[in-house]
C-alpha cells in the first residue's frame, strides 16, 4: 500500500446521532491517516436537505471531539478552508453530470416508476438479479435532448460498459472483481436535479484529494460503479477498503433506528472516551494489543489488512470491560473534577474518591455514591427494603447507641462493640447495617463507610431503618 500523502475522510449524514458502527468507521479512518502522518477530513453529506438536522450536525462534531478524533480539514479546522458540506458543492456535481452526458458516459432515462416496478417484479419472479435493463440506453442522444427540452422528466444514469469487468485491490478484502453486466446502470441524478449519493460521494473524494476510504461492506457494490464514474471523468480514484458491519445480537446491522447506543448517551452515563475508543478499535480488528491503548499507540499499530471481513457483534459487556480498564487507570485528579459539590464537602472529596473508586463502573457512579454516603435519604432497592423490614428494630437502636458513644471509629474496635450490642455477628450484623446505611448490599468496606459517613446522616438513616422495621412488626 502506498503510504505517502495519505488522506482519509469520515462523511456522515446529519440526519441523526452517531452510533457505534458509524464511530468505528470514523475511528478507523482517523487511525489510517495518523498511521502515515496524513490528513483526516470530516465531510458532511447533507444533500438530503429534508432530513438534515442542524442539531445532529452539532452532536456529530461534539461526539468526535469527545473521543479525541480531531479532524485536520472540515468544520472549524485550522487548515485551509474546504467546502465540507455537500449542500455547498452543487456546482461541482452539475459539472460532473454535464461531463458524463457530453462524452456519452451517462444518458437520460425516461422510464416511469410503474415500468421500473414491473421490471423488478418480473426479475424477482424469474429469480434474476434486480437491475436496470438498459431500456433508455439505446435512445439517440439528440432525441433524448428533445424529450427533455419538451419537459419530459428523466433521471440521468451512468452507462456501465457492456461486457466489461472492474477489478481493484481492496485494502481489507484483497482482490475484487465485478462483472458490470450484473450491476445495471445506476442513477446519478434524479429527475428533480438532485444528484445521488453514488455521484456526490465519489466526486467529493476525488476533488478533495481523498486517497484512502475505509467503509462498510454494504458499500462494496458501489465501488465498481464509482470507479467507472471517476475514470469516465478522468478523476483520481482512492483506494477502497470494506469492513464487516457492526451487528446486533440477531445479526441485524447496528442502526440508529433500532436504538443503537449513541456517544452522547454513553457520555451522559459516565463512560470514558478512552474506554469507547479502545472497545471500538477492537471491534473487528485484530491489530491492538491486550491492554488499554492511547490513540497514538492504536494508530501506530493500525493495518487495514487486519480488519475483519465478517460482521462484528456489538457487545456491551466488552465495552464495560474496557470501561473498567479505563477507570482503573484514571488519575485521581480527574475523578475529583467529576465529583459534584452538592453532597460531598470539598475537604472530604479526596477521601470520598479513594473510598468509592474500586466500586465505580462509570463517572456517573460518583454522583450515586455521593448521595448514598452523604445525602439524607438514598434510594433503596427492593433487597434493601426487605433486609431492613425483616430485622428487629432493636438491632438498629443498639447500633445507633454504639456509634453515638464510640470513642474510636476504627473497624477493628467498632465491630466487636456492635456485635456485643446487637447480639449479631457476620452477615446478620453486616447485611442489615449496610442496607440501612447505603441502600445497597455491596460497596466499600462497611467499616470505611461508617467512618466516612457524617454522624448525623448515620443517625438519620438508622433511625429510619428502626421505624421501618418496627412498622413491619405483626403487632405494629
Pick out the residues of the known binding site. 256
Which class for 330: exposed (0-12), middle (13-18), buried (19 or more C-beta within 10 A)? middle
**Which residue, among 337, 182, 202, 238, has the nearest Cα to 39 in the 3D structure?**
238
Label residue 147 exposed, middle or buried (CB < 10 Å: 0-12, 13-18, 19+): middle
In the chain the first and final C-alpha atoms are separated, in Å, by 80
Distance CA 167, CA 16 (A): 35
DSSP state of 42: E
Torsion of the alpha carbons at 91, 97, 98 and 100, rounded to the nearest 10 = 140
Residue 269's CB is within 10 A of a number of other CB atoms, namely 14
Residues in the annotated binding site for ATP:
256
Give the CA angle between residues 270, 274, 275 to the nearest 5°: 65
Residue pair 40/29 in contact by the 8 Å Cβ criterion:
yes
Radius of gyration (C-alpha) of the chain in whole angstroms: 31
Asked if residue 23 lies in contact with residue 63, where contact means CB atoms within 8 angstroms, the answer is yes
Main-chain phi, psi angles of 104, to 5 degrees: 80, 10
H/E element holding 155? strand 155-158
| Planar angle of CA 10, 12, 16, nearest 5 degrees | 150
- What SS3 state is found at 212? strand
Residue 18 three-state SS: coil
* 166 grid coordinates: 472492474
Q: Which residue has the cell 474546504?
A: 82
Q: Residue 193 and residue 187: Cα distance in Å, rounded?
A: 11
Q: What SS3 class is residue 153?
A: coil
Amino acid at each position: 500500500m502506498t503510504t505517502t500523502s495519505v488522506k482519509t475522510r469520515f462523511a456522515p449524514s446529519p440526519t441523526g446521532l452517531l452510533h457505534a458502527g458509524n464511530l468505528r468507521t470514523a475511528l478507523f479512518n482517523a487511525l489510517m491517516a495518523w498511521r502515515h502522518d496524513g490528513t483526516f477530513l470530516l465531510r458532511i453529506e447533507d444533500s438530503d436537505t429534508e432530513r438534515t438536522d442542524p442539531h445532529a450536525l452539532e452532536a456529530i462534531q461534539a461526539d468526535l471531539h469527545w473521543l479525541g478524533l480531531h479532524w485536520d480539514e472540515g468544520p472549524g479546522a485550522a487548515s485551509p478552508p474546504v467546502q465540507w458540506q455537500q449542500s455547498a458543492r452543487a456546482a461541482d456535481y452539475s459539472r460532473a453530470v454535464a461531463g458524463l452526458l457530453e462524452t456519452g458516459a451517462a444518458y437520460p432515462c425516461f422510464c416511469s416508476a410503474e415500468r421500473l416496478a414491473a421490471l423488478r417484479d418480473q426479475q424477482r419472479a424469474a429469480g434474476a438479479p434486480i437491475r436496470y435493463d438498459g431500456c433508455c440506453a439505446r435512445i439517440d442522444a439528440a432525441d433524448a435532448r428533445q424529450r427533455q427540452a419538451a419537459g419530459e422528466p428523466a433521471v440521468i444514469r451512468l452507462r456501465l460498459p457492456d461486457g466489461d469487468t472492474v477489478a481493484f485491490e481492496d485494502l481489507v478484502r484483497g482482490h475484487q472483481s465485478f462483472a458490470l453486466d450484473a450491476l445495471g446502470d445506476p442513477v446519478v441524478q434524479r429527475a428533480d436535479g438532485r444528484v445521488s449519493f453514488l455521484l456526490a460521494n465519489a466526486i467529493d473524494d476525488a476533488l478533495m484529494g481523498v486517497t484512502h476510504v475505509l467503509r462498510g461492506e454494504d458499500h462494496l457494490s458501489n465501488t465498481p460503479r464509482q470507479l467507472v464514474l471517476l475514470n469516465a471523468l478522468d478523476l483520481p480514484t482512492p483506494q477502497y477498503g470494506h469492513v464487516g458491519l457492526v451487528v446486533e445480537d440477531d445479526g441485524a446491522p447496528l442502526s440508529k433506528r433500532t436504538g443503537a447506543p449513541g456517544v452522547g448517551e454513553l457520555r451522559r452515563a459516565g463512560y470514558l472516551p478512552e474506554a469507547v475508543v479502545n472497545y471500538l478499535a477492537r471491534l473487528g480488528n485484530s491489530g491492538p494489543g491486550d491492554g488499554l491503548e492511547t490513540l497514538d499507540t492504536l494508530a501506530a499499530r493500525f493495518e487495514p489488512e487486519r480488519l475483519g471481513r465478517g460482521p462484528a457483534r456489538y457487545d456491551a459487556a466488552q465495552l464495560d470491560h474496557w470501561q473498567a480498564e479505563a477507570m482503573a487507570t484514571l488519575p485521581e485528579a480527574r475523578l475529583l473534577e467529576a465529583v459534584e459539590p452538592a453532597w460531598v464537602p470539598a475537604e472530604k472529596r479526596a477521601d470520598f474518591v479513594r473510598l468509592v473508586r474500586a466500586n465505580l463502573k462509570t463517572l456517573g457512579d460518583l454522583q450515586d455514591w455521593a448521595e448514598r454516603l452523604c445525602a439524607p435519604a438514598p434510594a433503596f432497592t427492593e433487597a434493601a427494603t426487605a433486609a431492613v423490614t425483616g430485622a428487629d428494630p432493636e438491632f438498629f437502636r443498639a447500633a445507633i447507641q454504639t456509634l453515638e458513644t464510640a470513642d474510636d471509629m476504627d473497624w477493628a474496635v467498632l465491630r466487636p462493640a456492635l456485635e456485643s450490642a446487637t447480639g449479631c455477628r457476620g452477615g446478620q450484623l453486616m447485611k442489615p447495617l449496610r442496607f440501612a446505611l447505603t441502600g445497597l448490599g455491596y460497596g466499600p468496606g462497611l467499616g470505611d463507610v461508617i467512618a466516612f459517613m457524617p454522624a448525623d446522616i448515620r443517625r438519620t438513616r438508622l433511625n429510619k431503618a428502626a421505624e421501618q422495621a418496627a412498622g413491619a412488626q405483626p403487632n405494629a
